[in-house]
Structures are given as structure tokens and as C-alpha cells.
Amino acid sequence: MVNSQVITQNFGAGANAFSIDFVQIGNLGNAADTSGNPNPAGSVSYIYNISKYEISREIVNKVNLSAGLGITLGDLTQYPRGAVPESGNGPNKPAVGLSWYEAALFVNHLNISQGYNAAYKFGAPVTGNPFGFQLWNPTDAGYQANNPFRNTLAHYFLPTTDEWYKAAYGSLSGTWFDYTTGSDTPPIAVGGGTTPGTAVYGQPSSMGPSDVDNAGGLSAFGTIGQGGNVWEWMETNADGSNDTIEEFRERQGGAWDNPIEALATTWYDSGVNPDHEHDLIGFRVASVPEPSSLSLLAIGLGGLAMLRRRRS
């Protein structure tokens, strides 16, 4: 049973207006899952929201047009689907082929456009760091020692592995599931659709991803496509600590041509270089209901839990 409410938030204006549907992830302070990988995982001490769908190409393109971020997306025209050829660059296909840094720039724009502080700090490009990504400093407002990647005054951000994991495999009751369809039974492999207990995986590589709102059945919290369709960038470094700029970032969820193992809680991934652009990696966005002293304290505690987590 899906047990979360949907919150629609609007951005942009005119021809570049768009909305993002979020689902609320409750059960704050839940016990971690100790049966998956990383282990433990998924304990989050605060209520937060996560986008119901992977962020679409149309949304990123509208932000590019309005803000001039210069984000480049992968060209997926080589992926027709079904009997009638369908461009992989359709507006509702997942935004893939962008680096972790570009996803972070997108998130920063969401914050700034709504009057919030940027989540991630960027400066002048330097050798080996063409985007100029930086850690927040103790002198910066919103700095948190346990997670110097993310500013606590931001409203929108890339999900940590714990935040993503809880939304994918957790539930309001605290029950953990092995798959992102709210079940311990492997989902049925499909090319698209929203039938409960299905996910977009095990498909020919030539097929490409499905539309973000047609990417399988719901998780227990009400998200779509966290298992299969495309991999998703995590905010978190591969070793579980966000204290090194160039370190590989985690990715989660599997893609349309992966086997079922990539969708399970037990999947292990060694991470991806944050400047890597791959046609199988997209992202989704998370947020706190409102930045406040209580939520900031909780985020700090969550960051501490993240630092204590290490892969088994």
C-alpha cells in the first residue's frame, strides 16, 4: 500500500514554467536496514521529500533556457521504443548524460529561483576541477561539519544514499523491502507502464529508458522508477563521507538493461567519477519541507549517521 502524500511545487515562468511532484518520506528516526548494501542504510532522523519521478529532459532544458546553466544531456535518438519509433530525447524521458556537478548546478538553481541558499558551493574552475566545486567552510552560513557538501540553508538537494535508500526500500511502518516496488518478490521486468510490482529492467540495451512517469510500479512511499529505468546520482561519496571533492559518487537503482540484481538492496556499486557523463545515469531531487532550526538539527544528525556508515 502506498502511504505518502504528493506535493507539487512550481518553478519558472512563462514558456519555461514547470512543476516537480514530490512525495513525503515520513517515519522520522527510523531504524536502519541492516540486510542490504551499504550496511546499515536508510536511517533518516527527519521528514523530507523526494521527487516522485526522475527529473525529465524537459525540466532540465527549461532550466537551461531560463538560467543558461549550460548543462549538456546525452543524445538518445538512437533508442527507438516499440513498433513505432520514439525518440529517446522525448521531453518526458529522464535527463541523462549529465555529470554529478551538472546535477548539483541544477539543484542550486531550484534553490536560488525560490529565494533559498544554494545547496552546493561552486567557484572558479581549476585544473582537475573544471566546475570549481568546493566544500562549504566553517565560516559559511549553513555549514555543517558532518556534511560539508550540503548547505543546511538550502531547500532542495541531491539525496544522500540514506535518503534515497529509505524512499526506495522503506515504508511508513518501518518495514524494509528487498525491491523498490514495496515487496520482497522481484518485480516483473517490463519496458514501461505503471502496473504494481513491475520495473523497467532486463530490456535490450537498444531499447533505451521509458518516460519518467511510465517507469514501473510504485514504491511503498509512492515513488516511480527508483528501481530500473536509469541509474541515479547520489549526493554521497562512495566511501560514505562527503569530505573529498573528486571522490567517486554513489549511484543507485539500476537501468533498463540491467539484471534484477542491480535493483535489489544487496547491490554493490563502487561509484562513478563526478565529472562522468553517461547515458544510463540520471537523477532525482530531494527537499526538506522548510529550512528551520529543527530540520537543520535533524539534518546534522543525519549527516553524522551517514559518516558512521561504511560499506560492509
Task: Report angle CA 207, 208, 211 to the nearest 5 degrees.
Answer: 115
Neighbours of 290 (CB within 10 A): 9
For residue 129, the SS3 value is strand
Split at pLDDT 50, 70, 90, the class of 292 is: very low
Name the amino acid, one letter, at 18.
Answer: F
Separation of CA 28 from chain center = 19
142-184 pLDDT per residue, tens: 999 999 999 999 999 999 999 999 999 999 999 999 999 999 9
Distances (CA, A) of 167 to 72, 131, 164, 264, 279: 28, 29, 5, 14, 24
pLDDT greater than 90 at residue 77:
no
pLDDT at position 53: 98
CATH among 1.10.3300.10, 3.10.450.50, 3.90.1580.10, 3.40.50.150 for 1-312: 3.90.1580.10
Split at pLDDT 50, 70, 90, the class of 86 is: low
Give yes or no for a cis peptide into 209 (omega within 30° of 0).
no
Name the amino acid, one letter, at 106.
Answer: F
pLDDT at position 309: 43
Q: How far apart are CA 202 and CA 186, in angstroms?
A: 12
- The pLDDT mean for the chain works out to 91
3-state helix, strand, coil in the chain (%, to 5): 20, 20, 60
pLDDT greater than 50 at residue 30:
yes
Q: Where are the domains of the chain?
A: 1-312
User: Among 2-11, 127-136, 222-231, whose mean pLDDT is lowest?
Assistant: 2-11
Closest C-alpha to 200, from 179, 175, 220: 179
| Residue 80, all three cell numbers | 527507438
Split at pLDDT 50, 70, 90, the class of 299 is: very low
pLDDT greater than 50 at residue 29:
yes
For the segment 50-65, the average pLDDT, to the nearest whole number, is 97
pLDDT greater than 80 at residue 87:
no
| Beta-bridge partner residues of 218 | 224
Share above pLDDT 90 across residues of the chain, in percent, rounded to a whole number: 83
22 close to 251: Cβ distance less than 8 angstroms: no
- What are the backbone angles phi and psi of residue 139, rounded to the nearest 5°? -85, -10
pLDDT greater than 50 at residue 300:
no
Share above pLDDT 70 across residues of the chain, in percent, rounded to a whole number: 89
| Beta strands per DSSP E along 172-290 | 188-189, 198-199, 231-237, 249-252, 281-282, 286-287
Split at pLDDT 50, 70, 90, the class of 128 is: confident
Distances (CA, A) of 179 to 47, 193, 199, 242: 22, 17, 10, 26
| Beta strands per DSSP E along 52-207 | 121-122, 133-134, 156-157, 188-189, 198-199
For the segment 111-121, the average pLDDT, to the nearest whole number, is 97
pLDDT at position 310: 40
Q: How far apart are CA 277 and CA 96, in angstroms?
A: 8
For the segment 189-198, the average pLDDT, to the nearest whole number, is 97
pLDDT at position 85: 52
Q: How far apart are CA 197 and CA 182, in angstroms?
A: 8
pLDDT at position 1: 55
Separation of CA 242 from chain center = 16
138 close to 168: Cβ distance less than 8 angstroms: no
pLDDT greater than 90 at residue 217:
yes
